[in-house]
Amino acid sequence: MLCDAIRYAGATLKSVISLDRIRFIFSRLREHLWARPLAICLLSIGAAFIAKLADDTGLSQFAPSIAPESIETLLSIMATSMLVIATFSVGSIVAAYASASSTATPRSFGLVVADDVSQNALSTFVGAFIFSIVSLTEVKNNYFQAAGLFILFILSAIVFGIVIITFVRWVDSIARLGRVGSTIDKVEKAASAALKRRHNDPTLRSVPVQTREGGHAVFAAVVGYVQYIDIAVLQTWAEKAGVHVVVAALPGTFVAPGRPLAYIHADDGEESGIDCKHLPDSFKIGSDRLFADDPRFGLVVLSEIAGRALSPAINDPGTAIDIIGTLLQLFALWSEPAAERDEPAAKYDRVEVHEISVRDMFDDAFTAIARDGAGMVEVAVRLQKALNSLASIGNADMRDAARYHGQLALKRAEIAMEVAEDLAMVRQAATFTEKNAAL
């Protein structure tokens, strides 16, 4: 009976499609430059044929007469100009991608690609080109009657207006796309969304990890980063198999064939007969970390941007100071009370998930800044002030983490700084951090 249930559960892992998986798929599609233009192209082709439907109605009796030559002229202008603008927009976007990778960090590439304004602009230009080509072919072959020509003229005017508005908005956006400030804003937005989602669901709507020993370990079959875990599918499998699943690799964890993804605990204590070969399918593993389900990745990327700004080649402490303020805002967001939910907090009672460690988050955020900015008094003082603010928030874990990193940053400053007055300023700022951490 148990074996039959386990075999059925293994098939369930492949057949169940959860809402979280659909969200993950759509978030990945946003990072592909071809997805939105393809959808707009299909919509444009459909719009070009919609005008034909008007010929089957009585609209021809009331519609004004439109000369086919005027529509051909408008569509010809649109067709020749849109291809040039689309090519120009692709070149500008590629240049912005290169700028973001060189001035900020290559890890921000996915966010720059997913920029809505740029994708909408490229989709609009390509869609207008396809619409004009299809419509021009139809007009030259006398595909429309009077009503169809009138509707096509209106559609052409609407498309032309959308192109003008999109181009104006896009010119303003492309001037900022790829700049360090714009990239920081995008990373902050992505990190904030991931932190909010995890703060409201610290165990991904499952239950916290109980004290368990042993268990059947399930290993990854490939090498890479865990990008997403389909908890709903794990719950369905666990219910059918009569087991509990302890997730050992959260999103962002680097896994290999020797690194356990999860541990299985059977209700009857017999883990040896469990077939878990389909369980790794619930873990999406890829070569890169993603922002959506990995809150720590946003902190890592912000820290990388600050580290590059503090390098001798760039020497831009102002950017590092800006990022320290951004990190302070993100951790303040993490310390706020979790939002109330209508559904039960533990929706998946057969899956156990670890909560994110605040100390690990502080390590991701502040280690590189404290190391690379140890010799710069303005960065070191601002870092101590930020840690002072976080230590005063009231959360015990955050106070301990702020105290530890404050002491560590002070040790690095004592080694790197040669001017006694600069070091005295850092020590004074660190004293306030010690007082708040002791409260």
Three-state DSSP state, 284: strand
What is the structure's pLDDT at 273? Answer: 63
For residues 278 and 9, what is the distance between their CA atoms, to the nearest angstrom? 9
Q: Are 78 and 155 in contact (CB under 8 A)?
A: no
Phi then psi for residue 349, to 5 deg, are -80, -5
Q: What angle do CA 71, 76, 80 make, to 5 degrees?
A: 155
pLDDT along the chain (439 residues), means of 10: 37 52 70 75 80 72 78 87 82 75 76 76 86 87 82 87 86 76 89 92 88 79 91 87 89 90 82 72 89 92 93 91 95 83 71 92 95 94 94 86 93 93 92 55
Which residue in 313, 304, 428 sits closest to 366, CA to CA? 304
pLDDT of res. 123:
84
Question: Quick one: tokens of 428?
Answer: 């004074």
Place of tokens 């310390």: 335
- DSSP conformation letters of 16-27: ---HHHHHHHHH
**CB-CB neighbours of 168 under 10 Å:** 9
What pLDDT score does 12 carry? 43
216, two tokens: 């059947």
Q: What local confidence, expressed as pLDDT, does residue 103 receive?
A: 72
Tell me the three state secondary structure of residue 229. strand
What's the confidence (pLDDT) of residue 381? 95
In a 10 Å sphere around its CB, with 0-12 CB exposed, 13-18 middle and 19+ buried, how is residue 144 labelled? buried
Q: Provide φ and ψ at 305, rounded to 5°.
A: -65, -40
Neighbours of 34 (CB within 10 A): 13
Alpha-carbon distance 137 to 143, whole Å?
9
Cβ atoms of 347 and 234 closer than 8 Å: no
Contact of 83 with 133, CB cutoff 8 Å:
no
The DSSP bridge partners found for residue 283 are 229
CA distance linking residue 43 with residue 49, whole number of Å:
10
Which H/E stretch holds residue 351? strand 348-353
pLDDT of residue 303: 95
pLDDT of the residue at 9 = 42
Residue-level pLDDT at 15: 45
Query: 437 near 431, Cβ under 8 Å?
Result: no
3-class DSSP state for residue 160?
helix
